[in-house]
Structure 1
Amino acid sequence: MALFESMLLLCLLAIALLPLSRKLSLPYPTVLAAAGLAVAAMPWSPEIAIDPQLALVLFIAPALLDAAYDMPLRTLRRFWLPTVSLAAVAVILTALAVAWLGVAWKGMPWAVALALGAIVAPPDAAAAAAMLSRLHLPRRTVQVLTAESLLNDAVALLLFGAAVAAGMSDRGFAETLPVMALAIPGGLVLGFLLGRIYVVFAPRLSGTLGATLFEFTATFGVWVVAEELHASPILAVVAYAMVVAHHLPSKQPPRDRVHSYSVWAAIVFFGNVVAFLLLGLQARTIVGKMHGAELAQALVFAGTALAVVIAVRVAWVMLYNRVLNLAWPRRRDNPTLKQGVVASWCGMRGLVTLATALALPAQFPSRDLIVLTALTVVVGTLVFQGSTLALLVRWMRFGPDQSFDEELARARLALLDTAEEALGDDRTEAAEHLRTSYADARDAIASGSLPQAEQRIFALKREGIEARREKLHAMRRAGEIEDDVFHAIENELDWAQLAATSPEELEIVEG
């Protein structure tokens, strides 16, 4: 019960503090880190260990699904150069730099040191992108960071898996590398096949609770099946999610899609909450076992690793930025110096670092030091970089980026043309009314006033729905209708209100 009580307390703290993170423009993991450490520091918090394999599948599978579902292949192809630079080169350089620190300072074997490097290497770019989307940034910068959030996790987790296997084996990398060479293509092929199978069967469960259960079973099942077949579960989940995201939307009704998005957003968020609590509890136990000079040396090492992690990303991103602009000065998609500075500072660590630290086997060499270092890097980057990122963006004073609005206007015009063509030769009063509304919408798009016009229409519709809702509740209180009728009409009004709500208001935020 003590663990469950700690989780409830942490959830309450998160609920209370998350609105503050939005008000102060802080990434929400920053608040979770503070809350998790506060709960873990309480004397009645329990000591707990989690099965390493369970930690990976429990925390990583939903995070990979969430990132991969929102990242189409065409976006990866378009931004392949900056994505590879951030998600592969920067992660590998960071892992090697931290590994060298572990070997040179603490005398760790290379496999053990590389495991530490892989744990702290991948930034939680998704959290940074979620916050940056609220600020005035070039659209391309946010898209690149979103692409990075998927691939840097995959690269770091592959390094982590190879390093842990080598660290626990007498033969080291000589035994693990051939296995990884087969596991990588095997995971991609398996994920693709299972994704296509899911797309065939999922529509048959449409509109049922079984559809949501099938989503959970399939996602975690892909990971388990890949492990049983000795394929890469990481790449299997990535390939599976991208296949589903490409094929399923045209076969999925809106109600199922809205329900699915909200459920998975809550699951990923709750995974962050639990991961911060569990790692905080383990860190408290580790600190309790260390005393005096040993603890001081461990904290100094962890602080140095934090500095290395930040420095390597800043150095590499700025080097890449300047070399690209000097070598190909006329290249249209070259990032500006301002974009490079912001991207280099989006290095906050989060869920992947927490989950991989929890996934270390209990017998792994230098485990206590690695876990303490991981927590220091997560908290340090969230507090130091997370608290200053919004200030940095405002100081840079980026110019307005109209590409999203222009593309949105073109898409709206194309959809209006299609809707009008669907009316055909129908000349009824209702059809003429729709034609008039389509013409008004075109004029509003041309003048750039469609968002304001839409918001006024939505507001009027919602006022009517709220009036009907108040009358419905009054009829129920007066006993004029039974509860079954009340709930049926309430359901109708709920869907009508969703339809009369602008897309911006439908977005689910962290707090």
Structure 2
Amino acid sequence: MQGSLLAVLVLSVLLAALARRFNASAPLALVVAGLAVSTIPVFEDIELDPELVLYVLLPPLLWSAGLESSYLNLKRNIRPISLLAVGLPLVTTFAVGFVAFHTVPELTVAAALTLGAIVAPPDAVSATAVGRRLGLPRRVMTLLGGESLLNDATALTAYKVALAAAIGSAATWGKGLGTFALAAGGGVVIGVALGAVIALIRYRLRDPLVESALGLVAPFVIYLTAEEAHGSGVLAVVVAALMLGQLSPHAGYETRLQDQAVWKAVQLLLESFAFLMIGLQLPTVIGELAGISASVIFASSAAVLATVIVVRIVWVYTFAYLPRMLSPRIREREPAPTVAQVFVVAWAGMRGVVSLAAAFAVPMTTLSGAPLPGRPHIVFLTFVVVIGTLLLHGLTLPWLIRRLGVQGDDARTDAIAAAAAQEKAATAAADRLDELLADPETAEVHERAADVLRAWNTRRRNSAWERLGRTEEEIGESPTAAFRRLRLEMLAAERKAFIAERDSGNIDDEVLRSVLHGLDLEEATLNRT
């Protein structure tokens, strides 16, 4: 079994590399490849372990997404994100539960609601990958990213409540709401507490290698702690990651550079493995169908898949325009979305590995020892929804984005904002240099070093408007110690100015990360041995 999983891991990375090489959708390619190779004998017995997904794959993927997300953007869009990440999964749970209960005779109400909670949360990994490649407007990307960060917490909590009722545990509406509130509140509190502790430890270590190692284990510790305390591990990890991401500009440059490289590799590895595993579950799912009539399979599959798609479209369109019609304040504060933008958000509802893991985690029996009603249907219908949405949306979403022209001018806007911020940063660096040269202790610094630094600063200021970024030209070789010390002081002033621009809302977190990356690389060059 271990050898087979290793083979899956290696194959997933190779396939992801090919997809990236040919600019194809890696999640879609991996799922199709998994379906194709699932009949090969060496891969037939590979089953998706729910604990592997929920405790090994999910925490680091959430952590990586949280680190890359913008707390300020999420805060500015908290209303629509909440509707997508909290309201939509709950509505989907009840809608799918109602349809499944009436199309699958074996399902009880609780079992049908369990299925609804399982297929409720979209996995926006593939949607955001497509959107980033095709240049979706930043607000659309923020909505999809924010939804994917938080909707798992809503759906998995609803899943726990419905599953408890399905297996025969005493459950009431009041107890269910209490469980939901405890999970949400506990997850947020634990995330804030552990995030603060980790930030305090990391930024006092001043050891980039240890800081990155601590960052690698942090999501697992946070997730497990929250789950053991009956809180939402998903929310805890997301909250802590957002905190660390917001504070990362204040960390050392070596830690930032190292974290970026490490987490991009980890994200590619885990996402590739997860999507290939989805396709490989075909033999297991087929094995669950013994004794189920073809008519029930076809009718329930079509009904549940259609419900998942239609509910999202209706919900997204309704709450994209209804609040604006009812509230003048919303009309003033939020730009009006176009019909095309709303449709792209509504169509980006691909389900993923979390849904399959939750389905496989449904126990075979109730607490009384009797077989759980409709479990084979739950597993099969989940597989249908996951594969159906991945193929349907994944194949059509890029075409729709191009066809509808849903592409923003964020690159141009970001470039102008970055250049304006560079202007202020260059001024701050020049002022700092003048302060240092006015100091009696640095008055004897070689004038050539100061001239080179001023010229370098001017070039950075001008190139920001020409290229809107830093060139890779080397400014001389083997700079003197004075040159190095003064330039580091100027970099610190630039970094402080950029952070202030981000905090005041003049530039986006994505712009900040981009310009800080340039400063970090420059600082690394100055500090090389």
Provide the TM-score with structure 1 as the length reference.
0.80
Q: 1:126 to 1:281 in 2, by over 3 A?
A: closer
Q: Which amino acid aligns with 1:440?
A: R
Q: Is the 8 A contact 2:164 2:170 kept in 1?
A: no
Match of 1:290 in 2: 289
CA distance in 2, matches of 1:49, 1:25: 27
Summarize deviations over 1:57-109 as a string: whole Å, max 9, x none.
11221222223223343222211222122222222222221111111111422
Q: Which amino acid aligns with 1:129?
A: T
Q: 1:322 to 1:281 in 2, by over 3 A?
A: same
Displacement of 1:156: 1.6
Residue among 398, 405, 423 paired with 2:433: 423
1:220 aligns with 2:230: no
Q: Is the 8 A contact 2:209 2:255 kept in 1?
A: no
Displacement of 1:220: 0.9
Q: Which amino acid aligns with 2:185?
A: P
Displacement of 1:6: 5.2
Q: 1:297 to 1:250 in 2, by over 3 A?
A: same
Matches within 5 A, 1:230-245: 230-245=230-245
1:400 aligns with 2:409: yes
Matches within 5 A, 1:405-416: 405-416=415-426
Q: Which amino acid aligns with 1:308?
A: T
Match of 1:34 in 2: 32
For structure 2, the residue ranges without an aligned partner over 5 or more in a row are 366-371, 438-444, 478-516, 524-529
Match of 1:130 in 2: 129
Q: Which amino acid aligns with 2:467?
A: L
Partner of 2:133: helix, strand, or coil? coil
CA distance in 2, matches of 1:178, 1:328: 31
Match of 2:389 in 1: 381
Q: 1:229 to 1:91 in 2, by over 3 A?
A: closer
Q: Is the 8 A contact 1:441 1:450 kept in 2?
A: no
Paired residues in the alignment total 461
Displacement of 1:289: 4.7
Matches within 5 A, 1:7-18: 7-9=6-8, 11-12=10-11, 14-16=13-15, 18=17
CA distance in 1, matches of 2:140, 2:53: 32
CA distance in 2, matches of 1:323, 1:289: 43
CA distance in 1, matches of 2:206, 2:360: 36
Q: 1:149 to 1:170 in 2, by over 3 A?
A: closer
Match of 2:488 in 1: none
Match of 1:154 in 2: 153
CA distance in 1, matches of 2:34, 2:255: 33
Provide the TM-score with structure 2 as the length reference.
0.78
Residue among 360, 363, 369 paired with 1:361: 363
Q: Is the 8 A contact 2:53 2:354 kept in 1?
A: no
Matches within 5 A, 1:254-273: 254-273=253-272
CA distance in 2, matches of 1:361, 1:216: 31
CA distance in 2, matches of 1:137, 1:49: 36
Q: Which amino acid aligns with 1:112?
A: A
Summarize deviations over 1:224-264 as a string: whole Å, max 9, x none.
2222222332222222222222334413x233223323333
Cα root mean square deviation, aligned: 3.2
Displacement of 1:358: 3.7
1:439 aligns with 2:447: no
Summarize deviations over 1:289-309 as a string: whole Å, max 9, x none.
535863563254223322221
Displacement of 1:136: 3.4
Summarize deviations over 1:426-466 as a string: whole Å, max 9, x none.
38222222222323333344xx4224x84xx42x559x9xx
1:91 aligns with 2:89: yes
1:450 aligns with 2:449: no
Identity %: 33
Q: Is the 8 A contact 1:36 1:273 kept in 2?
A: no
Partner of 1:424: helix, strand, or coil? helix
CA distance in 2, matches of 1:11, 1:45: 13
Q: 1:368 to 1:385 in 2, by over 3 A?
A: same
Summarize deviations over 1:257-282 as a string: whole Å, max 9, x none.
23323333333333334434544454
Match of 1:509 in 2: none
Which segment is superposed worse, 5-14 or 210-219?
5-14
Q: Is the 8 A contact 1:56 1:359 kept in 2?
A: no
CA distance in 2, matches of 1:411, 1:24: 32
Which segment is superposed worse, 185-194 or 431-440?
431-440
Q: Is the 8 A contact 2:186 2:231 kept in 1?
A: yes
Q: 1:441 to 1:215 in 2, by over 3 A?
A: closer
Q: Which amino acid aligns with 2:243?
A: V
